[in-house]
Chain A
């Protein structure tokens, strides 16, 4: 009780002293703005964003690969795609999806095989088998159909393919760009230096190979220029960028 009363007495004394003392603010100093040379503002609110991957490229899950593959094949169901890939010609282009479940990396719970997280040599072989099936059947559909398929209705080769000649590079590039966008999802000009040249070299070599194989009497269904485009197609559908992300 006595402590409380002494504290209130002290507060009263301080308040009285302050009321007697002269109180005031410091004098205001007028601002003087000095003229300076005009200059561009330095951007200070821009943060550089590092968009590079922070982990190694991963394998595209087999479900995604499969869905993409079916979409490229014209949006078919797996069984329809299987039927179309096998064809009726006994060409042994494809057999059945069941043969590739494990080698594509799918988990197969029926036989306790877990999901594969990395590519392996046999998976790469499977990608080739499936890629060749897709592209060869697409050439048959888009370029070799008895009734010509309009460009807009084509599955893969949405451009005209002049018959009987190897295209010069300037004519090759826009067509290659169509395939590059289809499979890798971006324009060919944004790809690494040298890729377009590499693909053009592949195209010309294969056109030449096919022509000499046909000349040598080998029974092959595709004309040289058709095979050239088929090869570009399955080089893209088997490309590392198609399988990794």
Chain B
């Protein structure tokens, strides 16, 4: 039965939606132009800080003991390696950190932001993401897909699959995923964009290595060509041809991969040689530097649409929390270095443009860590989160969303169509795909576009 209250609620929501439609009319006109071919040559990099990061050390800095919050201090954090840590006194003794004002003067961070603070005028920060979960697999799935797990199963496609399906079908490697929680779930997906899930990027070169002493490359190519025909033939006889057509496309992709020069380009050794500026020896994030090098190289050669990878080690429940800030510093340092490489690289198809003009980066995590320090000296799981976007399509030097002062819980960010509430991962993902002219409803069940986050 519809009560008067429900009726008024629906009426209000409709009015609000209509108002926001008017507000985003121009934005829709812009994105319609984009979807009509304006997205050619866009590249995507998705990074997950696996384990759940401590947002009080960077995005949502807390350097005072307020409410239940125990800030990072010299008692619980190794501050020596931190370049942006400057001591600030705590009321009850000890020393916390001074806030770091990023370039552009609008964003304020904790010392974990490291070298990325110098690029503050390029960042879009989202705080107070309501996670509704404190389980790693669920948090990762929610951040990457906008849906919670259903009985352990992923319920929707991840963001890298979404953008690859919209903009990357023709690429040789539409979506490369190195330990990222990628998923390929749902209808209307092209099987060419099934994420290539890898344990490390070196797998690509190892998988494409072929012995030369038994048969010439032409022989293997003939076999693959025939299998492509076989798959196509079977598809034409099948009541469910999609899977077989997908295999046909994958055989074709294999022929292109083996025909190109991928083997030499993507060996770990060649990547290190081509990008010596990345810190491969960093204590925590050094291992992930090779993934960043791969992303830049693959984008430069116009082979991928999306590269996604994980940087792990953020799950610091115990004494290992002491190095959480250093891990963050290395992570954001790696992102800053990657941005510099993208700035220096010419776009492969757009003459006169830099690669960074058309590369869109999103950094996420499972959730954040508790504001209290536990008995082991670490922080546990907490259902709040932050995210960072570096994209010309987003409003730069801008922060959206908030948490409450005493408990670090997500606070209402704005009035959405369903009322005032905190922003959540589906909203962020919907906004992200909307920025490229994609109707979020094709991929996301929930979530509302947040026009405030988009570049005007």
Contacts and interface: CB of A to CB of B under 8 A. Distances in A.
Interface residues on chain B, size class? 35 or more
Interface of A: 52-53, 55-58, 89, 91-93, 95, 99-103, 108, 111-114, 116-126, 128-129, 132, 136, 139, 192, 194-195, 198-199, 202, 205-206, 209-210, 213, 218-222, 227, 230-231, 234-235, 238-241, 243-244
A113 B213 contact: no
B79 to A, nearest CB: 30
B199 A118 contact: no
Given A192-B237, A198-B229, A235-B226, A93 B211 contact: yes
B250 to A, nearest CB: 5
Given A220-B215, A240-B227, A240-B247, A100 B207 contact: yes
A92 B211 contact: yes
Contacts of A202: 222-223, 226
A32 B211 CA distance: 87
A223 B64 CA distance: 78
B271 interface: no
Interface string B187-229: 0000110111111000110111111111110111011101101
B124 to A, nearest CB: 27
Contacts of B237: 192
A122 B196 contact: yes
Contacts of A243: 247
Contact of B234 (A53, A128, A235, A241): A241
A231 B258 CA distance: 17
B217 to A, nearest CB: 10
B382 interface: no
Nearest to A130: B207
Interface stretch (B109-117, B238-246, B403-411, B437-445): B238-246
A93 to B, nearest CB: 5
Given A120-B195, A121-B196, 11 more contacts: A53-B239, A56-B240, A113-B179, A192-B233, A192-B234, A198-B230, A199-B226, A205-B222, A206-B223, A209-B218, A221-B213
Contacts of B219: 206, 209-210, 227, 231
Given A102-B197, A120-B195, A195-B230, A56 B243 contact: yes
B108 interface: no
B346 to A, nearest CB: 27
Given A120-B194, A239-B227, A213 B244 contact: no
Given A91-B211, A128-B254, A220-B216, A198 B198 contact: no
A238 B222 CA distance: 13
B240 A121 contact: no
Contacts of B214: 91, 93, 132, 136, 139, 220-222, 227, 230
A128 B197 contact: no
Contacts of A195: 230, 233
A125 B257 contact: yes
Nearest to A93: B211
Contacts of B238: 57
A195 B206 CA distance: 32
B264 to A, nearest CB: 15
Contacts of B310: 112
A231 B214 CA distance: 11
Contacts of B244: 57, 240, 244
Nearest to B154: A114
B57 interface: no
A184 B144 CA distance: 38
Given A122-B196, A235-B223, A240-B247, A99 B203 contact: yes
Interface in B143-197: 154, 173, 179, 181, 184, 191-192, 194-197
Contacts of B123: none
A209 B254 CA distance: 21
23 contacts: A57-B244, A92-B211, A99-B206, A102-B197, A103-B196, A108-B199, A111-B179, A120-B250, A121-B192, A122-B207, A123-B250, A124-B251, A124-B253, A125-B208, A132-B210, A198-B229, A206-B219, A210-B219, A213-B216, A220-B216, A227-B214, A235-B223, A239-B230
Contacts of A116: 197
Nearest to B179: A111
A238 B226 CA distance: 11
B220 A132 contact: yes
B50 interface: yes
A119 B213 contact: no
Nearest to A232: B223
Contacts of A128: 220, 224, 254
A212 to B, nearest CB: 10
B231 interface: yes
A112 B208 CA distance: 24
- The 10 A-B pairs with the shortest beta carbon distances in the complex, nearest first, are A56-B240, A121-B253, A120-B194, A102-B199, A122-B196, A93-B211, A124-B250, A121-B250, A240-B231, A136-B214
Nearest to B236: A192
Contacts of B253: 121, 124
A129 B198 CA distance: 16
Contacts of B233: 192, 194-195
A235 B254 contact: no
A129 B212 CA distance: 12
A12 to B, nearest CB: 59
B223 to A, nearest CB: 5
